[in-house]
Amino acid sequence: MDKIAEFRTIVDHPYLYLQKLKDQTGKKIVGTVCSYAPEELIYAAGALPVRLFGSDSGIHRADLHLQSYCCSLVRGILEEALSGKLDLLDGMVFPHTCDSIQRLSDVWRLNLVKPFHADVVLPVKLSTPSALQYLLDVLKKFKTDLERGLAQEITEAGLIHAVKIYNAIRAQMKRLYQLRCENPQVISGQDFHTIIRAAMIMERETFLEDLAAIIVELTKTASEKKPSGTKRLVLSGGICSHPDIYDAIETAGGVVVDDDLCTGSRYFEGMINENLPPLTAIAKRYAERASCPAKHAGLTNRGEGLLKMVKDCKAEGVVFLLLKFCDPHAFDYPYLKEMLDRKKIPSLLLEMEEQTQAGGQLQTRLETFIQIL
């Protein structure tokens, strides 16, 4: 599909795309590092929020600031910044999530001069009234910070428009998830992943238009593609920077039908209520959507969510895709696995380094796992 090929070019060379966009439209680009970045606000300030994923080449500049036991996502992002690749950014937004991102913000502030640097210190709890009040206060403050930092007023109308665009993207993505769940043959894992990554980079209105076109096309061809009897899997974890994993799963006779990933459903899940004041509604979505393990929304919410996902999409197994040195996910893994075990749902743990390629050993492990399903 042409659109997806275009997306792939953008995902493979995001900075070329962004530089071109900047040159042509003068749009400001703001980097973010987490799915809790309030993108609607950045978008309403006339800037394009871009989720950073770090370098895929060797990390050495970042070694001067972060030890080797820091995850490769955080080290990789710093590496790109220090190497000058991110000079095109007009600002950086650091939502408070894990200890590593928290210190990345400090290191960034001390070593890289950016026109605009914002810490969005969100609450860790998402389940109490005082936390929700604080969350709203933080969003209000972030709005002021953005307006000052980007010298651009955020109007009520602008905010409502941003919410509409983001909601429309989320609605389309939900449709895409449904399509894949109904018949995983409609789109390859690689292509699916490409769309998700493009959603975090591209000018959002352009993306929305293209996405809608892709979905129309997929819906049309869906009936022609017969389900192939492959094993249905759910991916769970943090970020997936290894699109190769999808090929490896498909080669091994499996197919991903849903995910609980930061580069996946957690980014798109939940609509913003358009009948509420925009900031209140944005805060509400954070409180209600599936949480990152660095946030607290109850003791077993993530486990229950995973079980429901497996049931709803009729998956036969779960593959945990954990980034090495990602503490919040590593802490949740034993209890999630135990909850799956109790329901007799098989799971496989894959610990990934950012640069890990889907090699022979990975392939064998996937094949062995998929065979027992």
Partner 1 sequence: MNDDKFDFLKTLGIYLFGQAKKFSLRFKKSPTMKDLMMVYYSEAKSARLTGKKVAWITSGGPVEPLIAMDIIPIYPENHGAMIGASKMGAGLCEKAEAMGYSNDLCSYARSDIACATVNGGPIGGLPRPDMLVCCNNICGTVLKWYEVQARYFNVPLFILDTPFCHTGYSEEAARYVRAQIDEYILFIEEACKKKYNFERLRQVGHLSYEGQQLWQAVLDTAAHRPAPMSAFDAFYHLALIVTLRGTQEAVNYYQQLLSTMKDRVARGISVVPNEKYRLLWDNIPIWPRTRWLSQKFASHNACLVADTYTSAWCGAMKYIDESKFLDSMAEAYTRIYLNIGVDEMAKMVIEMIDKYDVDGFVLHSNRSCKPYSFGQLDIQRIVEKERGIPCLMIEADMVDDRSFSESQISTRIDAFMEIIKERRFKFK
Residue from the set 4, 66, 195, 252 that interacts with partner 1 by CB under 8 A: 66
Number of residues counted as binding partner 1 (CB under 8 A): 51
Q: Does 327 bind partner 1 (CB under 8 A)?
A: yes
Q: In terms of CB distance, is 67 or 223 closer to partner 1?
A: 67
Closest CA to 172 of 202, 210, 203: 210
Q: In terms of CB distance, is 135 or 202 closer to partner 1?
A: 135
Q: Residue 282 pairs with which residues in a beta bridge?
A: none
Contacts (Cβ under 8 Å, ≥6 apart) of 181: 257, 258, 312, 313
Site string for partner 1, 112-151 (x = CB under 8 A): -------x-x-xxx--x-xx-xx--xx--x----------
Q: Does 17 bind partner 1 (CB under 8 A)?
A: no
Residue from the set 113, 157, 216, 299 that interacts with partner 1 by CB under 8 A: 299
Q: Which range touches partner 1 (CB under 8 A), out of 7-15, 177-185, 209-217, 329-337?
A: 329-337
Residue from the set 9, 25, 111, 368 that interacts with partner 1 by CB under 8 A: 111
Sign of CA dihedral 214, 236, 295, 62: negative
Closest CA to 15 of 60, 63, 50: 50
Q: Does 217 bind partner 1 (CB under 8 A)?
A: no
Give dist(CA 259, CA 285) in Å, integer. Answer: 19
Residue from the set 32, 72, 105, 183 that interacts with partner 1 by CB under 8 A: 105
Give dist(CA 131, CA 287) in Å, integer. Answer: 9
Q: Which range touches partner 1 (CB under 8 A), out of 91-99, 201-209, 253-261, 272-280?
A: 91-99
Q: Does 373 bind partner 1 (CB under 8 A)?
A: no
Residue-wise DSSP of 26-56: --EEEEE-STTS-HHHHHHTTEEEEE----S
Find out whether 317 and 233 touch, Cβ atoms under 8 Å.
yes
Give dist(CA 161, CA 56) in Å, integer. Answer: 35
3-state secondary structure of 84: coil
The binding site for partner 1 (CB under 8 A) comprises 64-67, 69-70, 96-100, 102-107, 109-111, 119, 121, 123-125, 128, 130-131, 133-134, 137-138, 141, 293-294, 296, 299-300, 322, 324-325, 327-328, 330-335, 337, 351
